[in-house]
């Protein structure tokens, strides 16, 4: 799925932006605070129904305005579709082909995308929840029922946590354990299958970008030898003390290793970025194979933290994927793409074609 036409109104500093996208390479340049990241954030919002910078609705609505509106025409092979988002303090409205039915999951199906921004090293160095979301994104695109399963799991977790906070114990609490453990096992399976599907691309991209082997190992969030049901029974006092469930897929992690040692501690910031980029590109590649379609890749200042040689390896890997790319840079002449890109200049929140 690629984006053909994109508009944003009153999103951050962008009053009105229109972008007629090239199906392959798009390049946006502009000085600091001109609006480059805002444009990518708006595009990502259109595919996810939320900000990749973790911003609130108030942060995102242009100062002095009441709402922002985003719209895109997308292509999936011969088919085309429309995605739209309107957000105000009254709430978020999502439409896919005119229908409000599917919500954010429908957006994610209509415009799947991945982002590499200057904070991407956090995927390697940051908290486990980012790596869980990473695996869940792959599973969502590789396994048609995963999104629904995930929602059911979240509900079961909420219910068990509410029971814990209400001080429920004994057989009444054990009643919640069975459903929770059953859904947890299916989430676990889905993530393991997602990781297995991505493993080839992960290892290839890791080797390509880092120059040595990287390892990726799933940790489920409980002691595997003893099983989750037992962990829930044995951990009940701790769960009651915390008022929340301490074992389960919501405590899982993807352990990364580089040169056989723990990546998180040892790699430099640039290496962390390269490992994170390898992960993002491997996820995109895995989803592209599953969906049989190219995806949208948003690259915000891809050269940040990278030397010239590392950037060129990264861009070679990006262009080899056959995805649609929208990349930003401070420099008008950043050498990112092997062939001519459609070029745009952004200044004070206004976007103009520059080629």
Ligand X SMILES: Nc1ncnc2c1ncn2[C@@H]1O[C@H](COP(=O)(O)OP(=O)(O)OP(=O)(O)O)[C@@H](O)[C@H]1O
Question: Which of residues 39 and 107 has its CB atom nearest to ligand X in the complex?
Answer: 39
* Contact flag: residue 36 with ligand X (CB under 6 A): yes
Near ligand X by CB under 6 A: residue from 2, 7, 26, 38: 38
* Contact flag: residue 53 with ligand X (CB under 6 A): no
Question: Which of residues 59 and 148 has its CB atom nearest to ligand X in the complex?
Answer: 59
Least Å distance, CB 331 to ligand X, is: 11
Residue 211 dihedral angles phi and psi, to the nearest 5°: 80, 5
Near Mg ion by CB under 5 A: residue from 2, 7, 37, 324: 37
Question: Which of residues 65 and 213 has its CB atom nearest to ligand X in the complex?
Answer: 65
Helix (H, G, I), strand (E, B) or coil at 157: helix
Question: Which of residues 42 and 267 has its CB atom nearest to ligand X in the complex?
Answer: 42
* Contact flag: residue 304 with ligand X (CB under 6 A): no
Question: Which of residues 66 and 154 has its CB atom nearest to ligand X in the complex?
Answer: 66
Where does this chain touch Mg ion (CB under 5 A) — which range of 31-39, 45-53, 63-71, 184-192?
A: 31-39
**Contact of residue 38 among Mg ion, ligand X, none (CB under 5-8 Å per partner type):** ligand X
HSE-up of residue 272 (Cα within 13 Å, Cβ side): 20
Other CB atoms closer than 10 Å to residue 299's CB: what's the count? 25
Nearest to 56 by CA among 27, 88, 18, 97: 88
**Contact of residue 33 among ligand X, Mg ion, none (CB under 5-8 Å per partner type):** ligand X
Question: Which of residues 36 and 160 has its CB atom nearest to Mg ion in the complex?
Answer: 36
Spatial distance between the Cα atoms of 226 and 218, rounded to a whole number of angstroms: 17
Where does this chain touch ligand X (CB under 6 A) — which range of 30-38, 152-160, 209-217, 286-294?
A: 30-38
Q: Give residue number: closest CB to Mg ion.
A: 37
Near ligand X by CB under 6 A: residue from 62, 141, 191, 313: 62
* Contact flag: residue 30 with ligand X (CB under 6 A): yes
Site string for ligand X, 327-346 (x = CB under 6 A): ---x----------------
Q: Which two tokens stand for residue 199?
A: 């493993």
Do 233 and 341 contact (CB within 8 A), yes or no?
no
In angstroms, the Cα distances linking 2 to 40, 113, 121, 195, 281 are: 14, 9, 26, 25, 16
Q: Which two tokens stand for residue 267?
A: 């790699």
Q: Where are the beta strands (DSSP E) in the chain?
A: 2-11, 14-20, 25-29, 67-76, 79-88, 91-96, 113-116, 214-219, 253-258, 261-262, 296-299, 324-329, 342-347, 350-353
In angstroms, the Cα distances linking 96 to 43, 171, 290, 310 are: 15, 44, 21, 38
Nearest to 278 by CA among 207, 193, 196: 207
Binding site for Mg ion (CB under 5 A): 36-37
Binding site for ligand X (CB under 6 A): 12-13, 30, 32-38, 59, 61-63, 330
């Amino acid at each position: 799925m690629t984006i053909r036409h994109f508009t944003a109104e009153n999103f951050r500093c962008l009053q009105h932006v229109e972008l007629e996208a090239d199906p392959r390479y798009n390049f946006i340049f502009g000085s600091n605070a001109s609006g480059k990241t805002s444009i990518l954030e708006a595009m990502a919002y259109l595919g996810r129904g939320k900000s990749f910078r973790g911003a609130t609705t108030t942060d995102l609505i242009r100062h002095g305005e009441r709402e922002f509106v985003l719209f895109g025409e997308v292509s999936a092979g011969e088919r085309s579709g429309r995605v739209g988002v309107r957000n105000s303090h009254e709430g978020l409205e999502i439409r896919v082909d005119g229908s409000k039915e599917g919500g954010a999951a429908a957006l994610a199906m209509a415009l799947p995308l991945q982002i590499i921004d200057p904070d991407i090293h956090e995927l390697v160095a940051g908290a486990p929840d980012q790596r869980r979301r990473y695996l869940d994104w792959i599973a969502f695109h590789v396994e048609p029922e995963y999104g629904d399963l995930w929602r059911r799991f979240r509900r079961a977790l909420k219910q068990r946590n509410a029971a814990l906070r209400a001080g429920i114990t004994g057989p009444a609490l054990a009643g919640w354990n069975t459903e929770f453990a059953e859904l947890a096992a299916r989430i676990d399976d889905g993530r393991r299958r997602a990781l297995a599907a991505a493993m080839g691309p992960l290892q290839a991209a890791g080797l390509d970008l880092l120059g040595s082997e990287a390892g990726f190992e799933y940790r489920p969030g409980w002691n595997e030898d003893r099983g989750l049901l037992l962990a829930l029974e044995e951990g009940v006092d701790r769960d009651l003390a915390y008022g929340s469930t301490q074992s389960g897929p919501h405590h899982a992690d993807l352990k990364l290793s580089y040169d056989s040692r723990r990546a998180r501690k040892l790699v430099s910031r640039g290496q962390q970025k390269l490992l994170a980029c390898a992960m993002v590109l491997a996820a995109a590649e895995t989803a592209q194979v599953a969906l049989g379609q190219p995806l949208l890749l948003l690259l915000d200042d891809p050269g940040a933290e990278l030397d010239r040689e590392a950037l060129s390896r990264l861009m070679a890997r990006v262009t080899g994927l056959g995805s649609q790319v929208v990349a930003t840079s401070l420099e008008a002449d950043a050498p990112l793409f092997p062939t001519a890109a459609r070029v745009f200049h952004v200044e004070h929140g206004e976007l103009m074609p520059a080629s």
